[in-house]
Amino acid sequence: MDPFRRRLLAGALGAVLVTPAKARAETVKRVLWLSPAAQSAGTEFLGPFLEGMAALGHVQNKTWTLDARWGENSRETLDRLAVVALAGKPDVIVTQGAGLHSARKLPGATPVVFGFSGNPVELGVAKSLARPGDRFTGVTFLAYDLVGKRVELLSEMLPKARRIAVLSNSNHVGDAEERATTLKAAAHFGLEATLHRATNAAELKAALNEIATEKAEGMIVHPDGLMVQERETIGRFSLERRIPAISGWGSIAEGGGLVTYGPVLEACYRRLAYFTDRILHGASPADLSIELPTTFELVVNQRTAKALGLTIPKSILVRADRMIG
């Protein structure tokens, strides 16, 4: 981690529970960060948000303070922490991933800025992406048009494959359409696809056992918080069973997945500072359009490819934005 980001994180984490007397001044704004992740893992997205705030001229512990709450991979824990933190009367709540679910349960009208992998309209927190119409806005990572591209990449890497498995979290808002889009793309490329669902670690283990039993030749992993949390489990399974996996976020490739193609999440969380800044200056979240990602990356894990005995086609290597190993 570079020194600049280290200083930002040190300041943020040091301010989680202690608010200096000076910060109680009326001009100092309060931002509440809600993350379902463990603090040790979640700071990878808090860091870019802090960078974005600094770039917009916000000086932490001078013009604004941060109260960061971590669910430690328990939504129930984050729900409780969110209620406690609301007593601090934050001006804006910023959520990471499923932290949006905790925020929407809170009473009152505090604006919420989210970085969310699901469909906010389907979730019911926005009337539309263009005009959210309520107190919620931010960035959604869900891009259905990328689903077919991932299937195409898998087909390109495994030209002889005919049977693939699709692994997803059925609780993920937007999962039904994402699965339907994947099946349509698989059929287009002559692939037989079977669906496997998991909403927690135990169900994921069972789903992976099913995939192993049916002898899938490749695996599409729909990205969401659960799959990121369990990325090393998925990576080990892929290697042990020799089933190459492709997904949507770079962190899943870092956990052992073969290839990922999708949004750069760090850029998305940096963008959340824009929404926070606008709201702190008086804008209504109801009028701030929810955005889709604008920065994407193709990540190839060469270590995984070598362990699987695969040669990544040059046509993919020349397009790769990042190589692991």
Pick from 4-18, 189-203, 236-250: least confident:
4-18
Query: So what's the pLDDT on residue 41?
Result: 77
Report the Cα–Cα distance between both ends of the chain, in Å, rounded.
18
Q: What is the pLDDT of residue 16?
A: 47
Q: Is residue 282 scored above 90 in pLDDT? A: yes
pTM, two decimals, is 0.88
Q: What is the mean pLDDT of residues 264-273?
A: 97
Burial class of residue 117 in the structure, from the number of CB atoms within 10 Å of its CB (0-12 exposed, 13-18 middle, 19+ buried):
buried
Task: Please state, rounded to an integer, the average pLDDT across all residues of the chain.
Answer: 92
pLDDT tops 50 at residue 156: yes
pLDDT at residue 40, rounded to an integer: 84
> Which fold does the domain 3-142+264-287 belong to in CATH?
Rossmann fold (3.40.50)
pLDDT per residue as tens digits for the range 50-79: 999 999 999 999 999 999 999 998 999 999
Distance CA 132, CA 116 (A): 14
Please state which of the four CATH numbers 3.40.50.720, 3.40.50.970, 1.10.20.10, 3.40.50.2300 is assigned to the domain occupying 144-263+296-324. 3.40.50.2300
Q: Is the pLDDT of residue 194 over 80?
A: yes
Task: State yes or no: pLDDT of 93 exceeds 90.
Answer: yes
φ, ψ at 161 (rounded to 5°): -70, 145
The C-alpha atoms of residue 160 and residue 191 are separated, in whole angstroms, by 10
Percent of the chain exceeding pLDDT 90 equals 87
**Res 51: pLDDT:** 97
Q: What is the pLDDT of residue 26?
A: 54
User: Residue 18: pLDDT above 60?
Assistant: no
In which residue ranges of the chain is CATH 3.40.50.2300 found? 3-142+264-287, 144-263+296-324
Q: Are 258 and 301 in contact (CB under 8 A)?
A: yes
Q: Are 301 and 256 in contact (CB under 8 A)?
A: yes
Greater confidence (282 vs 41) lies with: 282
Residue pair 103/123 in contact (Cβ under 8 Å)? The answer is no
Whether 173 has a pLDDT exceeding 90, the answer reads yes
Query: pLDDT digit string (tens) for 20-57?
Result: 444 344 589 999 999 999 998 768 899 999 999 999 99
Minimum mean pLDDT range among 5-14, 56-65, 104-113, 197-206: 5-14
Identify the pLDDT of residue 114: 98
